[in-house]
Structure 1
Amino acid sequence: MKLTTPLKDHDIEKLKAGDTVKISGIIYTARDAAHARLIKLLEEGKDLPFDPKGQIIYYVGPTPAKPGKAIGSAGPTTSYRMDPYAPKLIEAGLKGMIGKGARNQEVRDSIINHKTIYFAAVGGAAALIAQSIKKSEVIAYDDLGSEAIRKMEVVDFPAIVINDLYGNDLYEIGQKEYNCENK
Structure 2
Amino acid sequence: MAKKITLPITNEDIKNLKSGDSVLLTGTILTGRDAAHKRLFELIEQGKELPINVNGELIYYVGPAPAKEGYAVGPAGPTSSYRMDKYAPALLDLGLKGMIGKGARSKEVIDAMVRNKCVYFAAIGGAAALIAKSIKSEEILCYEDLGTEAVRRYVVEDFPCIVAIDCEGNNVYETEPVKYRVF
Give the shorter-chain TM-score range: over 0.9
- Out of 58, 81, 84, the position equivalent to 1:82 is 84
For the residues of structure 2 that align with 1:150 and 1:115, how far apart are their CA atoms? Answer: 24
Name 2:169's counterpart in structure 1.
167
- Out of 111, 121, 124, the position equivalent to 1:122 is 124
The TM-score normalised by the length of structure 2 is: 0.96
Pairing 1:112-151 to 2, within 5 Å after superposition: 112-151=114-153
| Identity rate, percent | 56
- 1:166 Cα deviation from its structure 2 partner: 1.4
For the residues of structure 2 that align with 1:71 and 1:9, how far apart are their CA atoms? Answer: 30
Q: Which moved more, 1:41-50 or 1:78-87?
A: 41-50
Q: CA RMSD in A?
A: 1.0
- Matched residues, number: 181
- 1:34 Cα deviation from its structure 2 partner: 0.1
Pairing 1:57-72 to 2, within 5 Å after superposition: 57-72=59-74
Q: Which moved more, 1:165-174 or 1:155-164?
A: 165-174
For the residues of structure 2 that align with 1:67 and 1:85, how far apart are their CA atoms? Answer: 35
Q: Secondary structure at the match of 1:144?
A: helix
Contact 1:138 1:148 in 2 (8 A): yes
Contact 1:25 1:154 in 2 (8 A): yes
Q: Which runs of 5+ in 2 are unaligned?
A: none
The TM-score normalised by the length of structure 1 is: 0.96
Letter in 1 for 2:19: A
Q: Which runs of 5+ in 1 are unaligned?
A: none
For the residues of structure 2 that align with 1:124 and 1:36, how far apart are their CA atoms? Answer: 26
- Out of 93, 109, 112, the position equivalent to 1:110 is 112
Task: List, as ranges, runs of 4+ consecutive aligned residues in structure 1 with deviation greater than 6 Å.
Answer: none
Contact 1:7 1:54 in 2 (8 A): yes
Name 2:101's counterpart in structure 1.
99
